[in-house]
Amino acid sequence: MARTLTDEQGVKRYLVNLKVNGDNHTVMVKGNSLLVNVLRDELDLTGTKKGCELGDCGSCTVLLDGKPVNSCLVLAVEAEGREITTIEGVAQNDKLDKLQESFVNNAAIQCGYCTPGMVLSAKALLTRNPHPTETEVREAISGNLCRCTGYVNIVKAVMAAAEQE
Amino acid sequence: MSQEYAVIGKSVPRKDGWDKVTGKAKYTGDLKFPNMLVGKILTSPHAHARILSIDTSEAEKLPGVKAVITHEDVPSLKYGISPARWDENIFCIDKVRFVGDKVAAVAALDEETVYKALKLIKVEYETLPAVFDPFEAMREDAPLVQEEYPRNINTEIHQNFGDVDKAMAEAYYVRTDRFKGQRTYQSPIEPHSAISIWDKDKLTIYSSTQSPHYFQYYIAREFGLPMGNVRVLKTHIGGGFGGKLEPTGLEFAGAVLSKLTGRPVRMFYDREDMFAHNRGRHAQFMELTTGVDKDGKILAVHANFVMDGGAYTSLGVASAYYAGALLTIPYEFDNYKFDMYRVNTNLPACGAQRGHGHPQPRFAFESHLDNIAKELGIDPVEIRLRNARKSNTTTPNEFKVETCALTEALEKARDLSGWREKKGKLPSGRGIGIGVGSFVSGAGYPIYRTDLPQASAVIKVNEDGSEATLYSGSVDIGQGSDTVLCQMAAEAMGYVYEKMRIVSADTELAPHDFGAYASRQTLMSGAAVKQAGEEIKTQLLAIAAPALGVRAEELDCREGIIFVKANPEINRTFGEAAREFFVKKGPLVGRGVYHVPKLGGKFKGAAVGTSPAYSFAAQVAEVEIDEETGEVKIAEVWDVHDCGKVINPALLHAQVHGAFYMGMGESVWEQVLFDAKGKIINANLAEYRLPTALDMPRLHSDLVDTVEPNGPWGVKEVGEGATTPVMGCISNAITDAIGVRIDSLPLSYEKVWRASKERKRNTSGE
Amino acid sequence: MYLPDFEYYQPNSLAEACRLMAKFGPRARILAGGTDLLHKMKHGQLEPEVIVSLNGLERLREITYQKGVGVVIGARATHNDIAGSALLQEKYRSVCEAAHHMANNQIRNVGTLGGNIVNAVPSADLPPILIALGASVKLAGSQGRRVLPLEEFFTGVHSSVIEPDEILTEVIIPDQPSTGSTYIRFGLRRSGALAVVGAAVAVTMEGETCREARIALGAAAPVPMRARQAEAVLKNQVITPDLLEEAGVCAARECSPRSSIRGSEEYRRDLVRVLTRRALQKAIKEGHV
């Protein structure tokens, strides 16, 4: 359990270690601080988007120990000790992951606001299941809403990335 | 033919792809400025109420709160789309008109404090009788939403072309059908936000906007500033679909909060605010009467419509005109009458959503036409072929259509979908339907009255010739205009796409353009870009000629190589010549401007629906219905488009996918719902159901070729036109499957269940 | 949106968690996955002063088989833990499928079995199938532990027999005589949609004869309900299509759905008929639990 400190207004603050994309960060958060806000506001990892704040759209998807979750419904204090992957952690040394490359090459991006969450949901799927069926791909991204693409090219991109395995 | 063009016609990857796929792309709400505050608007909990008092003192005392403002702190000048209908204030002064109307705003150190401060603002209201139904609102005794519109009629249209009465009297068959549309919402995934920075006499606003220019115009006007003192720009934008076309309270309130505090202020909507602000699709009540001859040839149409406009005009006066204007485009007929009342109610204002005003009337007409075809025993594809518009024709409301390949599109959609093998032969619970659509490739007149050109562009080649930058006021809201315009620039210059950079959607750095609406940019912005590119090429060939020992006219430039047309072996590079130009003559700059030629008739409202070119589409859908539960599965869809020359095929088909997706959602799944007091009860993405990846059908997007003389390289639009046929197409497919027509949108599972049940009851009773 | 302020505790033992809950009483709330709790708090529907997180209690995530007891699922098991559990796949595939088809993947990775039950909403997907399988719940409180049938747990929308100091720790599915079970949900889109109606059945077949059927319905009444009259229609009867339809009609008659944004009372009732019949057909045909 995190160490605490009470501020002048009597609000308790928690010292939390967050391991994000392999980097360790120590941050002070309030009990009610949400992971999405800490990532965006404290760590400037704004690739994690806010869309609905209620777990309906998937824009704020991050991987927690490899599994996609909505970071708008996760308390920052509860993320301590977990491996957090955000979209910024997917490309390595400025080299796109094959899934990201596939999104670019298959015109799977339009406004791009859902893209980080989509990529992470798909990434988790391909890690678990390198050769998914189209239905499995659709299931894996069905918690990520996209208003631009009708998902057509997103599904195509994920399937194409899987074929390269 | 494939060698005709070097850059356009190819599916090059998007300019912003890398940034968007890595999370580097910054949207407005991602930006941070030193000392920045966060702000939010307090909205009305009542649909109609007088404001008696506002007490902000408790909110001001909350630690972290830096400013609280109400109508007393902001200009009282009203705004809206046209001077006759400027009816919206930054904050309500005497009364609120819908649940969500703007009342006050707070700026504080963080979001949490902002929310807490909003709760501490005490507003005393006296509730007033409210009206939510447009037909009730038109009654003499109905409460007035806006004092200046008697019987709440915000816009009234009566147009009459040809001799409708005579044609109806002579018709073999005259049919009237009534249909209802629903309120839908654009639901971009990115919530609106705006960062205002008022620094001395300069106001800079980063906004999630589809039209920085339109925002700049109204913001400058509100604050009495010269337009040059207001800079509006965007970074990346997470979708608009019409919902980010007009300034919200975020820009106005943020500007005042920034001025008061001397700090940048980031204003934001959350998802519930977005629904409340709305400006989504109007619900239309559509009565259509059509007279046909015995072959199903349309002789006359009367469209008699009412639309629920909500509390303000927003862009709705245009929506109202569009609703009827575009009904004349896909099919040829000479006699047309259009009556429309846009009515104010105490609900959120409606505005422009993909296909602006047209998708619901198109749903109605496509359904109506199928009813007529059935009555006459004509195949639905056949009746459309008999009526399909041809190239070089003029509509009864005086729109000139130079290219139209609707006939070819219908035939191709019919053949690709296997229509002949399926229609009337599918097993129980399955159905097939067809719909057509069309749309303007840019509105013929600007969004507000002005003599400014529609679009302009500047291209500057780097001093060493290694890159070039396109400056364009156009707005990439995700559709890919930055990419397409760079392709067009490179083609016109004889340059390469990869070396093109773009600065767009910034009223200070980029030259004027009206932005992303009415499907205008590929044609209009593209025309300006083409001209700018050609100007570069002309200058470059002139400077390059002496060294190659020929006259400039003997040269051409393609993919960065300047060569002698008669002997391409003699050549030099674009970059080298560009550098020479800079050394000798200074910056190598090309300029382009696009004015729409004078279009349309002289009657009232003649401007709306004019366009240099029109797209056309035929769409076939196959559906599977679970008649016991009413569940609708869209199984497979074929869209065939006539959209002129294609600049980037991958992006074009992606537009069709997205446009279909939105139309599909509106067909069956999406509807904004209200409680009895006018509050939205599904202002979230759980109960406002955008279809998920699991709901999407197999979707085939195909093309028929046209080259539009009024568009650069022959282009026309695609992004909105592809939404227009969807609802009619799905309606016709569902009708084919269950044997009965549902006349109101959305064609929800429960409605399908009910209709199937009633049909069974009726057939078993016979 | 924002979460109201609260004090956060993350006890290391169940005993400590119970002690905290006893101490703070109704001012405190248990946080398991948070997908329902945080949702309600963001809407201002709940403003607990204290949050007691079960995050430190890893053992509550276990899914085990205990001889003589049955399958024991820890209350903190997520929906995806359940959907992917090899033990449950082998013994109660119907439970895995029910977990797999609810909400969306992100929610299933976080939302828990305990939360799905304690939240006590009529449309919850797991209670019907668990009730059909005769499951019990174990509640731990400062005064000790008690086990009761899940069917008796719910008392109304958002209310149950759980005391403020109690924590739901596990769900027990007893060994079955059932030969087949299934859960069918009907939602208004294929992902991320609450059940308009859900029907779960567990049947014990002997050849063509149904010895016993247990039918539990979701979103058909204020609480997950047994359709006992429909069950009676089937008991010791030779199964025919007409009999299954009759059971469906019976279930539709005895349920008491309400009209809501997702469906009218009339629509829901008819869906109960259809889904009950289809669930029975499926459970009988597939022949596994």
Judge if B495 and B386 occupy the same domain: no
**Are C167 and C200 a contacting pair, CB within 8 Å?**
no
B3: pLDDT strictly greater than 90: no
Asked whether residue B137 is assigned to any structural domain, the reply reads: no
- Shortest Cα–Cα distance, B568 to chain C (Å): 59
Q: How far is the CA of B762 from the CAs of B144, B734, B756, C194, in angstroms?
A: 44, 18, 10, 33
Instruction: Spell out where A7-142 has E strands.
Output: 12-20, 23-30, 61-64, 67-70, 83-85
Phi, psi angle pair for C2, to nearest 5°: -150, 160
Q: What is the pLDDT of residue A1?
A: 58
| B575, B594, B613 - which closes a domain | B594
Region B466-488: mean pLDDT is 98
Cβ-Cβ contacts under 8 Å, B719 against chain A:
none
Q: pLDDT at position C142, please?
A: 86
Q: Are residues B292 and B390 in the same domain?
A: yes
Region for residue B187 given its phi and psi (left: phi exceeds 0; alpha: psi -120 to 50; beta: otherwise): left
Query: Same domain, yes or no, for C146 and C216?
Result: no
| pLDDT tens by residue, C19-69 | 999 999 999 999 999 999 999 999 999 999 999 999 999 999 999 999 999
Same domain, B751 and B712: yes
Residues B534 and B499 in one domain: yes
State yes or no: pLDDT of B1 exceeds 60. no
Identify the closest residue of chain A to C8 by CA–CA distance.
Answer: A31
CB-count burial class (<10 Å; 0-12, 13-18, 19+) for B124: exposed
For residues B50 and B85, membership in a common domain is answered with yes
Q: What is the pLDDT of residues A39-62, one digit of tens each?
A: 999 999 999 999 999 999 999 999
For residues B363 and B724, the answer to whether their CB atoms sit within 8 Å is no
**What are the backbone dihedrals phi and psi of residue B543, each rounded to the nearest 5 degrees, phi first?**
-75, -30
- What CATH code is carried by the domain that includes residue B198? 3.90.1170.50
pLDDT reported for residue A143:
98
Q: Which residues pair with B403 in a beta bridge?
A: none
Residues C210, C150, single domain; the answer is no
CA dihedral over B442, B444, B448, B450, signed as positive or negative: positive
CB contact under 8 A, C103 and A143: yes
Position A2 scores a pLDDT of 65
Residues from chain B contacting residue C2 (CB–CB below 8 Å): 111-112, 115-116
Chain B segment 668-707 residues within 8 A of A by beta carbon are 684-686, 690, 692-694, 696, 699
| pLDDT value of residue B598 | 94
Q: How far apart are CA B423 and CA B732, in angstroms?
A: 11
- C101 shares its domain with C160: yes
B180, part of any domain: no
Rounded average pLDDT over B135-156 = 97
State whether residue C110 sits within 8 Å of chain A by CB. Answer: yes
Query: Which of the residues B20, B62, B109, B208 would you substitute to probe the A interface, choosing the one with the greatest number of A C-beta atoms within 10 Å?
Result: B20
| Residue B503 tokens, joined | 């600065």
State the Cα angle at C45 between C43 and C47, rounded to 5°: 100
Verify that C243 and C197 share a domain, yes or no: yes
CA distances from B41 to A116, B121, B270, C200 (A): 29, 11, 10, 46
- A–B: how many Cβ contacts below 8 A? 170
Buried b (16+ CB within 10 A) or exposed e, B15-49: bbbbbbbbbbbebbbbeeeeebbbbbbbbbbbbbb
Dihedral-angle region of residue B355 (phi above 0 means left; psi in -120 to 50 means alpha; beta otherwise): left
Q: In chain A, whose CA is at the least distance from the CA of C55?
A: A78
DSSP-derived letter for residue B141 is T
Model confidence at B765, pLDDT cuts 50, 70, 90, reads low
Mark which of C53, C72, C87 sits at the end of a domain: C53
Mean of the per-residue pLDDT values for chain B?
97
Of B238, B479, B650, the CB nearest to A113: B238
Question: What is the side-by-side strand order in the sheet with C70-74?
Answer: C63-66, C70-74, C167-173, C136-141, C144-149
Structural domains of chain A in order of their starting residue, each with its CATH number: 3-89 (3.10.20.30), 98-163 (1.10.150.120)
Domains of chain B: total:
3
Asked, for residue C1, whether it belongs to a domain, the answer is no
State the CB neighbour count (10 A cutoff) for residue B235: 18
Residue C219 inside a domain? The answer is yes
Tell me: do B560 and B626 sit in the same domain.
Answer: no
DSSP state of A97: -
Q: Same domain, yes or no, for B622 and B749? A: yes
**In a 3-state reduction of DSSP, which class is residue B632?**
strand
Cα(B479)–Cα(B709) distance, integer angstroms: 23
Residue B2's pLDDT is what?
43
Give me the DSSP letters along B394-457. E-TT--EE----HHHHHHHHHHHHTHHHHTTTSPTTEEEEEEEEEEESS-SS-SSS----SEEE
Kindly list the residues from chain B whose CB atom is less than 8 angstroms away from the CB atom of residue A146.
189, 693
Based on the domain organization, do B563 and B505 belong to the same domain? yes
Chain B, nearest residue to A47 by Cα: B23
**In whole angstroms, what is the distance from residue B125 CA to residue B348 CA?**
19
Determine, for residues B692 and C190 on separate chains, whether the beta-carbon distance falls below 8 Å.
yes
> Which structural domain, as residue segments, surrounds residue C162?
58-173
Chain C residues 76-95 with CB within 8 Å of chain A:
80
The per-residue pLDDT for range B232-284, each reduced to its tens digit, is: 999 999 999 999 999 999 999 999 999 999 999 999 999 999 999 999 999 99
Residue in the structure block whose two tokens are 């919402």 = B185
Question: Which among A51, A106, A110 has the least Cβ separation from residue B658?
Answer: A110
Q: At residue B713, what are phi and psi to the nearest 5 degrees? A: 60, 10
Give the E-state strand segments of B311-383 in sequence order: 335-344
pLDDT in tens, B64-97: 999 999 999 999 999 998 888 999 999 999 999 9
The verdict on a CB contact (< 8 Å) between C106 and A55 is yes
Q: Is the ipTM of this complex over 0.90?
A: yes
Q: Would you list the DSSP string of C58-69?
A: GGGG-EEEETTT
C101 vs C230: CA distance, rounded Å: 25
Kindly state whether residues C184 and C209 are assigned to the same domain.
Answer: yes
Q: Is residue B227 included in any domain, yes or no?
A: yes
Count CB atoms within 10 A of the CB of residue B225.
16
- Whole-angstrom distance between the N-terminal and C-terminal Cα of chain B? 62
Q: What is the pLDDT of residue B721?
A: 96
Q: What chain B residue is nearest to A102 in terms of C-alpha separation? A: B21
The answer to whether residue B543 sits within a structural domain is yes
Cα separation of C63 and C76, whole Å?
10
Element (H, E) at B372: helix B359-376
Best of B189, B281, B646 to substitute, by most chain A Cβ atoms within 10 angstroms, is: B189
Q: Is residue C147 part of a domain?
A: yes
3-state secondary structure B238-272: CCCCCCCCCCCHHHHHHHHHHHHHCCCEEEECCHH
**Domain closes at, from B561, B594, B627:** B594
The answer to whether residues B722 and B617 touch, using CB atoms and an 8 Å cutoff, is yes
Contacting residues of B for C106, CB less than 8 Å apart: none
* DSSP conformation class of A79: G
**What are the CB-based long-range contacts (under 8 Å, 24+) for B560-569?**
B560/B494, B560/B495, B560/B496, B560/B499, B561/B494, B562/B494
In this structure, is residue B166 part of a structural domain?
A: no
Q: Measured over all CA atoms, what is the biggest interatomic distance in chain B, rounded to whole angstroms? A: 91
Clarify whether residues C42 and C77 are in a common domain. no
Instruction: Reply yes or no: is the peptide bond before residue B746 cis, omega within 30 of 0.
Output: yes
> What token pair was written down for B88?
């919206």
Give the residue among C140, C171, C215 at the shortest CA–CA distance from C61.
C171
pLDDT in tens, B578-617: 999 999 999 999 999 999 999 999 999 999 999 999 999 9
Instruction: Report if residue B138 sits inside a domain.
Output: no
C-alpha distances (whole Å) from A22 to each of A71, A83, C142 are 17, 8, 41
Is the pLDDT confidence value at B401 over 50? Answer: yes
B378 and B271 inside one domain: no
Residues B568 and B615 in one domain: no
The answer to whether A112 contacts B111, with C-beta atoms less than 8 Å apart, is no
Considering only CB atoms, B753 lies closest to which of C194, C267, C275, namely C267
3-state DSSP percent of chain A in helix, strand and coil, to 5: 35, 20, 40
CB B106 within 8 A of CB B42: yes
Instruction: Please give the tally of structural domains in chain C.
Output: 3
From first CA to last CA, the distance across chain A in angstroms is 41
On whether both B377 and B302 belong to a single domain, the answer is: yes
Residue B277: half-sphere exposure toward Cβ, Cα within 13 Å: 28
Give dist(CA B236, CA B21) in Å, integer: 13
Strands C28-31 and B698-703, sheet pairing: unpaired
CATH number of the domain that C128 lies in?
3.30.465.10
Which parts of chain C sit beneath pLDDT 50? none
Same domain, B228 and B345: no
Residues C225 and C150 in one domain: no
Question: If residue B625 lies in a helix (H) or strand (E), which one and from where to where?
Answer: strand B614-626
Alpha carbon distance B285, B345 (integer Å): 14
Q: Give me the CATH number covering residue C282.
A: 3.30.390.50
Q: Which chains touch B (3 or more CB pairs under 8 A)?
A: A, C
Closest CA to B39 of B219, B261, B228: B261
Cα–chain-centroid distance for residue B251? 21
B298: in domain:
yes
CB-count burial class (<10 Å; 0-12, 13-18, 19+) for C15:
exposed
* pLDDT at residue B762, rounded to an integer: 86
Please give the single-letter amino acid code of residue B261: T
CA distances from residue A11 to A7, A28, B117, B582, C7 in whole angstroms, order as listed = 5, 12, 17, 63, 8
pLDDT in the model for residue B679: 98
The Cα–Cα gap between A130 and B234 comes to 38
Rounded to the nearest angstrom, the minimum Cα separation between A141 and chain C is: 8
Of A85, A61, A86, the residue nearest A72 (C-alpha): A61
Q: Whole-angstrom Cα distance, residue B140 to residue B661? A: 41
B158-201 pLDDT per residue, tens:
999 999 999 999 999 999 999 999 999 999 999 999 999 999 99
How many CB pairs below 8 Å do chains A and C form together? 83
Which residue shows structure tokens 């002063």? Answer: C49
* Residue of B239, B686, B694 lying closest to A54 (CB–CB): B686
CA–CA min distance A39, chain B (Å) = 11
Q: Tell me what percent of the residues of chain B surpass a pLDDT of 90.
A: 98
Cβ burial, residue B185 (10 Å; 0-12/13-18/19+): buried
Of B594, B614, B646, which closes a domain?
B594
Residue B624: give its domain's CATH number. 3.30.365.10
Q: Indicate whether B20 belongs to any domain.
A: no
Range of the domain at B102: 31-128+189-239+244-277
What CATH number is associated with residue C44? 3.30.43.10
